[in-house]
Structure 1
Amino acid sequence: MANPEHLKLLMQGVGVWNRWRKKQPGIKPDLSLAKLAGIAPDYNLNLSETDLSGADLSDSKLVMANLTRANLFKADLCKADLSTATLAGTTLSKAFLFGAKLTDADLTKANLSKATLSKANLAGANLSRATLIGANLFEANLWEANLEQANFTQANLSGANLTEANLYGAVFHQCHIGYTSFVNVNLKGVQDLETVKHVGPSYVAISTIFNSGGDVPRVFLRGCGIPENFIQQLPSFLSQPIQCASCFISFSYADRPFAVKLHDHLQAKGIRCWLDEHQTRPKDDTIQRVERG
Structure 2
Amino acid sequence: MANPEHIKILKQGTEVWNKWRLANPTVRPDFTGANFTGVNFAGSNFTGVTFAEVDLSGANLSKTDLSGADLSWAHLNFAKLLGTNLNETNLENAVIHETVFTDVNLSNTKGLNKLRPLGPSIVDHRTLIQSENLPDKFLRDCGLPEPFIEYLPSLIGSLEPIQFYSCFISHSSKDEAFAHRLHADLQAKGIRCWYAPENLKIGDEIQPTIDKAIRVHEKLLLIFSENSITSSWVRKEAHEAMTTEKNKGKKDVLFPIRLDDSILNTAEQWCDDVKRERHIGDFRNWTDHDTYQKSLDRLLRDLKNEASEELGSPDSL
TM (norm. structure 1) is 0.48
Q: In proportion to residue count, which structure has more strand? A: 2
Bigger RCO (CA 8 Å, 6+ sep): 2
Larger Rg: 1
Q: In proportion to residue count, which structure has more helix? A: 2
